[in-house]
A and B are shown apart, each in its own frame.
Chain A
Amino acid sequence: MLNKLTALVIALTLGATLFVTEVTAKTFYWVAHGSPADPVWTYFLAGAQQWAADTGNRVNTSFHNGDVAAQQETLRIAIAAGADGIVTSSPDPGSLIQVTEEANELGIPIVNMNTPDPTANFDAYVGGDLIDYGRQWAQYLVDKKLVKTGDFVWLPVEVIGASYGVLEEQGIASVFEPLGITWEITDATLDQGEVITRMVDYMTANYDKVDAIIGLGDLVTGSIKRVFDQCGIAPGEIPVIGWGNSLDTTQEVLLGYVNAAQWQDPQATSYMALTLAAMASSGIPPGFDITTGALYEADKAQIYDDILSGK
């Protein structure tokens, strides 16, 4: 009889736990403007998945390859589904003003991650300050005497016109313009193979012109070694700085192809953004943003290499 009683108690407890979990498990939507083929987004996604595992909440994820209309549609679907919270990056400055208003009206917390858009009424922003990153990168090159007045800097980017490139360029311009340093942005697409092809073509044609390179995205910066090798450029011959959220780039920094790279802490960004969203959905409004990011050189590169390899 004791056995039966124990069994009953266990069953009831399990049942209660299940019931409790059902009741407290919330659904969050994690909406990214990027492409699943872009290595950095893999880590952002990993952060989101880790958070889901740790908290027991449900996180629905989606990618949009830069298609603004499709991303807006997905966000509206999340709102219609009565999401407990939404975390989204911004594909285009100003493109999410309407959508955030709709979320605000229904009291659904909506947190901005990765690419900021201050014109939209988000509950909070988690990520780096892209304009500031651009400024830092440009300043790094100037301070280390890697560029001087009259020099030309190449700025490869994956998708022209997307928020991140636009803002980074603003920061870069604020440093280079007064110094009379010129630059050019070219696009490389989101396809790895195509990226290498285009960058090789550009370097082959403009080798004599380029004095330094700033990689405005992870995919392009992560391709530098392959591009340099194919063009016969030695590591360190042309100074490179830029995004560094991938194993490709940490390796490049360790091997000397890239002077310094920006760690955005993609997993932490996702994780913290979701945390803020969950906090807001429980009635605690986040009255602050979270800034992430660190510029690393060869001495610190191994740390990030380990993090990235660990996953």
Chain B
Amino acid sequence: MTALIQMQGISKSYGPVHALEEVDLTVGEHEIIGLLGDNGAGKSTLIKILSGAVPASSGTIAIRGERVSINSTSDAISQGIETIYQDSALVPELSIARNLFLGREPLKGPAFLGWMDQDAMGEVARSLLKEVGIEKDIPPTTPIGSLSGGERQSVAIARAMYFDSELIILDEPTNNLGVAETQGVLRFVRNARDSGHSCIFIAHNIHHVFQVVDRIVVLRHGRVVADDIDPKQTSVEVVERIITGMEE
């Protein structure tokens, strides 16, 4: 498998605190990586660097072999890296359609007017809602705040897929969700991989990770301590020990 994303030697320091030290991470095509580690291991920092929210102190990132520099969230998005946050980066008062296209509104007429093509937006929204499994007939002009947490997360993932992102990063997406909704999201993540997107999945709940990922990477104290774990060939207890360092 060719490497979609290759992070090499990534380090990040906040003053005397070394959040990450010489981290190498590879994500292949059509691959779901589970990124695990205890609190303070550096998972969030690594993700923030990849999504453009925070710059690395040193190290390189390459996409399909080519070096790229990611200095802002719009850089990351234009490189095809989408991040799904816990609150889904959605604006509750805005409609589903507007949320979907926030920052990338389709326009009609002369560009300088900025006139949104709301019909097109509505159609896409409708079809995405169906894809995501929302059976009820919700008009795309409904504020997204009226959807449930799981539905919102699914819409956020559908958004990432719609915009042809290469890599979808999911940062604790199932944290506040109920059982059924969690299953919905996990199913959707698998769909994403099957449709050609790669994912990095971070979760506290190792069982969720086991259900979905192809490969597990473990961070501890800012370093990679394991990056080749196949969930089908190991158990949750083993991985837990790696995370906490009891294995040594």
Direct contact of A and B (CB under 8 A): no
